[in-house]
């Protein structure tokens, strides 16, 4: 009996969840309650994945004891204890805490927190009230569905509703929602994950896809900037109309505090619009404006960061394409990244060339082949796991072979690999979900609270039914194989892979068919083609509009490269100017004995000051024109939308000359 493996899983899972949350979220900016809630949701979801294999091996041991009656000596045909065996009360208590905490978070707490994070009220009481009102329709819909189910069950003959049956009904309803979501996510990811790895190994594919993404992201960036400009214009007009004695002055100041300083300065420099007169603001209008400001700033910040990340990625892909034809086998960067001395010593230009230009594509192809084999195994097992005699599920056969030799380590490793691949496919799809720009998981601390809470809700709702589906794949669910067996503690606490009674008839038929149908639709890219036909342009290789967007993205990246090169040249000129004239500039203000007594020396100082002022003025003017060109380099979609930006030269540009 050893608690070591269980404690190791608990600690490692917590570190993994905290690290991922740190990568996507921003603990310094986000509310501490949101950070803790999302951390618990992710942690408990990952904990189920890593601890369930230990429960499976423990169940195999308990089944052996039940079949043989007693534990015999190690020298005979024995039931060996697993190396990770724990007392029988550990797993039930752990699963109760994990399951009910996750369910409370995903169905009660997180929906309110999600609305609270976007509320525009100015007090915490007002935010909570607004969140509850927003969720009234949400909760009302579920209560209406639950009421219909209860009436349906109450009208059934020989049906007596008690607390235990109501609990089973609630668990079945939650599993039904999760299983149909699982069909959608796995049907997409089991095909898309291997295909994306294989496409990434092909030369030029990632670069063309990145150009396509750049063209689409530039449109999103322009829309986000336009939304920010609109709210800033409204704020400027309100700031001019609302004085310090106005009753809504403090609320307006609260909104202005959300705007970054540079945006406020830009807002103040703009000329006031005199086309219409604003009515005196009310609290409701300021609340509505507050919501708009929060959403606009979050979207603008996210798109700007995504644009910078995408530009760096495209520069890297372009550098890889150029270095692949290099004969000296040394990787050369267009814009060298900042690296630590240790990383520079290990990742030398030669090593980097062999990795990026030679080995990387082969590693991706090997990963694509492995994922393809796993996906085929999963799809076959999903289609056949309802068949109990003969056992057609591959995972069930693999587990039975290890179970025959009581190889608990192999059972745990095999279970971990299967669950990990299912979770990777499902979770990676969840992290890519983008619904009308409301939810977007962005790395490098750019995900807002609203999207983080959404991801936590999705993981809490998806993980329990996904693990129940795994237990069905390996035939450890008695409701699947229709045989009375000793089940896992996980199944005893969280229920079986059941759905609500209304749709339970024929579930073993249409569940595999839906999974197979979604996989085929993803393989033939039916969803992408349908979205392209509806106007939501997707990356389809043989489409004319896709080629146009790729060309547009290439031009945008060329502009961005020229802009960065000019910035780098300007910085080099500034650095060279400071190195050449920095000492002389400092000596100008150093008092000397000759100053004031030698007219020739004083005139030399005047000439030196005049010369340096000319150089400084020309340098500042060149920096100004670089900045002006940055503003001018707007994406093509913004020029097509009719938006015009007027720039004015600085005052006194040639005064020093």
What DSSP assignment string belongs to 209-245? HHHHHHHHHHHHHHHHHHHHHHHHHHHHHHHHH--TT
Cα-based distances in Å from 17 to 44, 258, 331? 9, 29, 35
Lowest mean pLDDT among 175-179, 228-232, 481-485, 616-620: 616-620
Q: How many residues can be counted in the chain?
A: 657
Lowest mean pLDDT among 254-258, 285-289, 444-448: 444-448
Mean pLDDT of the 485-505 span: 71
Query: Residue 44: pLDDT above 90?
Result: yes
In whole angstroms, give the CA distance from residue 74 to residue 58: 18
- How does residue 243 score in pLDDT terms, banded at 50, 70 and 90? confident
How is the chain split into domains, by residue range? 4-188+406-502, 205-323, 544-640
Lowest mean pLDDT among 387-401, 476-490, 615-629: 615-629
pLDDT at 35: 92
Query: Residue 273: pLDDT above 80?
Result: no
Render the burial of 246-276: b for 16+ CB within 10 Å, e for the rest: eebeebbeebeeebeeebbeebeeeeeeeee
Cα-based distances in Å from 44 to 87, 97, 268? 21, 9, 48
Yes or no: say if 142 and 149 are a contact pair by the CB < 8 Å rule.
no
pLDDT in tens, 520-573: 988 888 877 777 777 666 777 667 778 888 889 899 999 999 998 898 888 888
In whole angstroms, give the CA distance from residue 88 to residue 58: 9
Mean pLDDT of the 117-139 span: 84
CB atoms within 10 A of CB 379: 19
CB atoms within 10 A of CB 393: 24
Closest CA to 295 of 214, 222, 231: 231
- How does residue 277 score in pLDDT terms, banded at 50, 70 and 90? low
Non-local (6+) Cβ contacts of 327 within 8 A are none
pLDDT at 248: 85
- How does residue 607 score in pLDDT terms, banded at 50, 70 and 90? very low
Task: Answer with the residue of higher pLDDT: 13 or 324.
Answer: 13
Mean pLDDT of the 247-273 span: 83
Lowest mean pLDDT among 205-219, 261-275, 292-306, 625-639: 625-639
User: What letter would DSSP give residue 524?
Assistant: T
In whole angstroms, give the CA distance from residue 206 to residue 211: 9
Q: Which percentage of the chain shows pLDDT scores above 90?
A: 17
Render the burial of 28-62: b for 16+ CB within 10 Å, e for the rest: eebeeebbebbbbbbbbbbbbbbbbbbbbbbbbbb
State the average pLDDT for the chain: 79
In whole angstroms, give the CA distance from residue 467 to residue 45: 10
User: What letter would DSSP give residue 652?
Assistant: T
In whole angstroms, give the CA distance from residue 339 to residue 319: 17
Lowest mean pLDDT among 332-346, 393-407, 592-606: 592-606
Closest CA to 117 of 230, 28, 34: 34
In whole angstroms, give the CA distance from residue 462 to residue 453: 14
Yes or no: say if 553 and 211 are a contact pair by the CB < 8 Å rule.
yes
In whole angstroms, give the CA distance from residue 285 to residue 289: 6
Yes or no: say if 135 and 117 are a contact pair by the CB < 8 Å rule.
no
Query: Residue 70: pLDDT above 60?
Result: no
- How does residue 648 score in pLDDT terms, banded at 50, 70 and 90? very low
The C-alpha R_g of the chain, in whole angstroms, comes to 32
Of the ranges 3-17, 457-471, 630-644, which is most confident? 3-17
pLDDT at 497: 63
pTM of the model: 0.77
């Amino acid at each position: 009996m050893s608690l070591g493996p269980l404690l190791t899983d608990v600690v490692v899972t917590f570190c993994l969840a905290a690290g991922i949350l740190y990568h996507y979220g921003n603990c310094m900016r986000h509310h501490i309650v949101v950070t803790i809630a999302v951390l618990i949701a992710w942690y408990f979801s990952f904990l189920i994945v890593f601890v369930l294999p230990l429960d499976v091996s423990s169940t195999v041991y308990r089944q052996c004891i039940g079949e043989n009656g007693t534990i015999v000596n190690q020298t005979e045909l024995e039931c060996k204890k697993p190396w990770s065996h724990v007392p029988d009360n550990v797993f039930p208590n752990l699963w109760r805490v994990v399951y009910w905490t996750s369910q409370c978070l995903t169905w009660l707490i997180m929906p309110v927190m999600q609305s609270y994070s976007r509320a525009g009220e100015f007090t915490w009481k007002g935010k909570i009230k607004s969140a509850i009102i927003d969720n009234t329709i949400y909760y009302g819909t579920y209560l209406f569905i639950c009421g219909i189910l209860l009436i349906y069950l109450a009208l059934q003959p020989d049906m007596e509703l008690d607390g235990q049956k109501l609990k089973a009904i609630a668990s079945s309803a939650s599993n039904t929602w999760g299983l149909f979501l699982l069909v959608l996510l796995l049907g997409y990811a089991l095909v898309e994950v291997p295909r994306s790895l294989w496409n990434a190994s092909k030369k030029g594919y990632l670069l063309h896809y990145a150009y396509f993404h750049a063209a689409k992201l530039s449109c999103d960036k322009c829309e986000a900037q336009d939304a920010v400009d609109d709210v800033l214009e409204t704020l400027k007009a309100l700031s001019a109309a609302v004085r310090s004695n106005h009753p809504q002055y403090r609320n307006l100041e609260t909104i202005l505090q959300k705007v970054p300083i540079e945006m406020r300065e830009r807002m103040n420099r703009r000329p006031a619009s005199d086309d219409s007169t604003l009515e005196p603001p009310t609290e409701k209008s300021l609340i509505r404006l507050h919501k708009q400001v929060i959403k606009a700033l979050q979207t603008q910040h996210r798109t700007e960061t995504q644009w910078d990340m995408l530009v760096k990625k495209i520069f890297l892909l372009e550098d890889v394409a150029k270095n692949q034809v290099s004969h000296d086998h040394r990787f050369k960067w267009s814009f060298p990244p900042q690296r630590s001395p240790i990383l520079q010593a290990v990742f030398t230009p030669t090593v980097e060339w062999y990795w990026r230009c030679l080995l990387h594509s082969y590693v991706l192809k090997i990963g694509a082949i492995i994922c393809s084999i796993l996906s085929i195994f999963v799809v076959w097992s999903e289609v056949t796991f309802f068949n109990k005699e003969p056992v057609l599920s591959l995972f069930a056969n693999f587990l039975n072979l290890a179970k025959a030799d009581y190889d608990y380590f192999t059972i745990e490793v095999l279970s971990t690999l299967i669950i990990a691949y299912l979770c990777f496919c499902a979770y990676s799809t969840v992290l890519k979900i983008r619904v009308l720009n409301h939810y977007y998981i962005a790395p490098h601390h750019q995900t807002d609270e609203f999207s983080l809470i959404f991801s936590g809700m999705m993981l809490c709702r998806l993980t329990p039914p996904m693990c129940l589906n795994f237990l069905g794949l390996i035939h450890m669910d008695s409701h699947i194989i229709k045989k009375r067996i000793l089940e896992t503690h996980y199944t005893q606490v969280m229920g079986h892979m059941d759905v609500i009674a209304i749709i339970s008839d024929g579930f073993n038929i249409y569940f595999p068919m839906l999974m197979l149908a979604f996989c085929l639709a993803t393989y033939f890219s039916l969803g992408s083609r349908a979205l392209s036909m509806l106007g939501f342009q997707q990356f389809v290789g043989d489409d004319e509009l896709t080629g146009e967007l790729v060309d547009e993205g290439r031009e945008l990246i060329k502009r961005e490269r020229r802009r960065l090169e000019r910035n780098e040249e300007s910085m080099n000129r500034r650095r060279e100017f400071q190195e050449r004239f920095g000492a002389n500039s400092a000596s100008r203000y150093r008092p000397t004995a000759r100053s004031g007594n030698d007219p020739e020396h004083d005139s030399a100082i005047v000439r030196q000051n005049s010369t340096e002022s000319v150089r400084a003025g020309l340098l500042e003017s060149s920096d100004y024109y670089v900045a002006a060109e940055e503003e001018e380099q707007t994406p093509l979609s913004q020029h097509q939308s009719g938006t015009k930006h007027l720039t004015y030269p600085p005052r006194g540009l040639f005064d020093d000359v």
